[in-house]
Amino acid sequence: MFLAVGVWALTRPRPDADLLGVDPQGTPAYHIESSQAKRPNYYSGVYTGQKYECVEFARRWLVRNRGITFRSVERAVDLLTLEQAATLSGQPVKVTRVSSPEVGDLAIFPVTDANPYGHVAVVVRVVGDRVQLAEQNQSSRRWIRDYSRELPLSEIPHLLRMN
């Protein structure tokens, strides 16, 4: 009981945000209805993006778990234009498109009529030809496991790896 309460207190960013879930690496994802509540977010002093957006979650996941960050992008789909990222100490990190997913890869989804920014999620597990993703700002549905959704690899249009 204490652990659950302690984790909730540490991961809940503000009263108007809902915790959607926490991925296997311990990165929390949030949802908020009001776009007015979005503001810059920082993790350990590193800018991660606009709070509650999908790009913010992806960058925060990379900062927390890999010590990597990337330049600001206007839309999630613009991550496909990245050629380089950087470690937190400023060392260059190569960004490559890959076809076989690994934990920590970014799954990039295209612009649609319903989503003019595209979308990004983080691969948190690969099970055969299926990929489990962690993300925020894709759905307001709480996760029932330690990932937000599972898709066949064939439904993920782009994968980026930063290493």
User: pLDDT of 108-150, one tens digit each?
Assistant: 999 999 889 999 999 999 999 999 999 998 888 999 999 999 9
Q: Compare 78 and 31 and report the one with higher pLDDT.
A: 78
Strands 28-31 and 40-43: unpaired
Regarding pTM above 0.85, the answer is yes
* Mean predicted confidence (pLDDT) in 47-72: 96
Q: Which tokens go with 131?
A: 């990929």
For the chain, state the CA radius of gyration.
15
Looking at residue 29, its amino acid is A
Strands 106-109 and 92-98: unpaired
> Domains in the chain: how many in total?
1
Separation between Cα atoms, residue 130 and residue 47, nearest integer Å: 31
Domain span including residue 54: 2-162
Which residue carries 């503000």 as its tokens? 14
Domain CATH for 89: 3.90.1720.10
Q: Check pLDDT > 50 for residue 7.
A: no
Q: Check pLDDT > 50 for residue 4.
A: no
